[in-house]
């Protein structure tokens, strides 16, 4: 059930998604209207020769080969760089039956703080209209805004399509006293899996270094941002961050679809986590070393994790919806009659 030392996804050994994709271009100079969905694949970006990477441009994990260069699984949309002051464009909002039901989600919140590293999780995700099923790194005071900056690195499977996922960076400079309020910057890309992410387990990974940030699915790198791309977001990503996973429902129908809650009538939907593995990063040698693995055997490790208990748009997160049993951690989305 829980692999030991092999980063390939045991649920799909040897599988390679069938449609080769291209690395999207840097949107730094030509932002795309956030109200539109770009459809033309980008060109491979030129990576400056001085960009520090490990030999062969493959992140090195002792005893493992986490990245398979040249095997991008499917076509990616170009980057979509947006600058906004709110979480999402909520101009078109649809709501579920909140008169009859309360809706609940879950968050697994890491207590450790990281500056750089490699972060893996073998997961089976959720995709119902309106849902967001995620793994992300987050600078904890980001939500305070004001004189706090924002740092966040995301993997998200959205309710509009279980066969596609979104990689995103979110940054915001702290406000200057007496000056204007600084907006957030985001740089979303949506990439097809070549499979339905809700049907089986797959290995998701984020790699964060001072020189680049990358995303992987089943040990295949599908996006890499280097210094100078996305309006300097890689350079700005310096705050220590916690590792988190959550399942919630957004009000932005253009982003995730219309949330009605009807899919919860027959019971909960669940984001399953088989294991989480974290590596530290040595900035001198540019190598990764495994720090720990949580296989979720027994009860939730309270020294490492806590449960979210706040409102996220259409749902309230509650600790009862974070369940550890039979070697898995499950994030549930539920509804309860009033």
- What pLDDT was estimated at residue 271? 99
Cα separation, 323 vs 274, whole angstroms: 12
Name the pTM for this structure: 0.75
Catalytic residues: 152, 156
Average pLDDT over residues 208-213: 98
269-282 vs 287-294, strand pairing mode = antiparallel
- What pLDDT was estimated at residue 290? 99
Phi/psi for 256 (5° steps) reads: -125, -5
Q: Where are the domains of the chain?
A: 78-337
Model confidence at 55, pLDDT cuts 50, 70, 90, reads: very low
Cβ pair 38, 82 in contact under 8 A: no
Least confident range from 48-52, 96-100, 145-149, 220-224: namely: 48-52
Q: State which H helix or E strand residue 148 sits in.
A: none
Cα separation, 206 vs 213, whole angstroms: 7
Considering only the top CATH level, what class is 78-337?
mainly beta
Average pLDDT over residues 77-82: 49
- What pLDDT was estimated at residue 238? 98
Residue 101 has pLDDT above 70, yes or no: yes
- What pLDDT was estimated at residue 177? 81
Residue 44 has pLDDT above 50, yes or no: no
How large a percentage of the chain has pLDDT more than 90? 68
Cβ burial 204-241 (10 Å sphere, 16+ → b, else e): bbbbbbbbbbbbbbbbbbbbbbbbbbbbebbebbebeb
The closest of 222, 224, 276 to 17, measured between CA atoms, is 222
Sign of CA dihedral 137, 288, 231, 236: positive
Residue 51 has pLDDT above 60, yes or no: no
């Amino acid at each position: 059930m829980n692999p030991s030392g092999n980063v390939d996804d045991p649920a799909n050994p040897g599988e390679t998604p069938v449609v080769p994709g291209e690395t999207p271009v840097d949107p730094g100079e030509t932002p795309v209207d956030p109200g539109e969905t770009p459809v033309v694949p980008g060109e491979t970006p030129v990576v400056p020769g001085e960009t520090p990477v490990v030999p062969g441009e493959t992140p090195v994990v002792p005893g493992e080969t986490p990245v398979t260069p040249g095997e991008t699984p499917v076509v990616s949309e170009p980057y979509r760089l947006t600058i906004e002051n709110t979480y999402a464009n909520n101009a078109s909002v649809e709501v579920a039956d909140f008169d009859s039901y309360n809706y609940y989600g879950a968050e697994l919140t890491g207590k450790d703080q990281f500056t750089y590293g490699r972060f893996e999780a073998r997961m089976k995700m959720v995709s119902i209209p309106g849902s967001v099923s995620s793994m992300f790194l987050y600078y904890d005071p980001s939500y305070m805004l004001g004189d706090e900056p924002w740092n966040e690195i995301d993997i998200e499977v959205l309710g509009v399509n279980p066969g596609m996922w979104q990689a995103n960076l979110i940054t915001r400079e702290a406000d200057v006293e007496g000056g204007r309020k600084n907006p957030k910057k985001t740089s979303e890309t949506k990439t097809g899996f070549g499979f339905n992410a809700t049907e089986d387990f797959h290995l998701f990974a984020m790699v964060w270094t001072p020189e680049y940030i990358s995303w992987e699915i089943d040990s295949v790198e599908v996006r890499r941002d280097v210094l100078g791309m996305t309006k300097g977001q890689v350079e700005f990503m310096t705050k220590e961050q916690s590792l988190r996973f959550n399942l919630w429902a957004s009000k932005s129908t253009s982003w995730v679809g219309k949330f009605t809650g009807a899919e919860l009538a027959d019971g909960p939907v669940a984001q399953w986590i088989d294991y989480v593995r974290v590596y530290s990063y040595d900035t001198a040698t540019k190598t990764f070393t495994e720090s720990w693995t949580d296989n979720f055997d027994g009860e939730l490790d309270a020294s490492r994790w806590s449960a979210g208990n706040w409102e996220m748009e259409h749902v309230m997160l509650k600790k009862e919806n974070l369940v550890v049993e039979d070697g898995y951690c499950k994030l549930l989305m539920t509804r309860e009659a009033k």
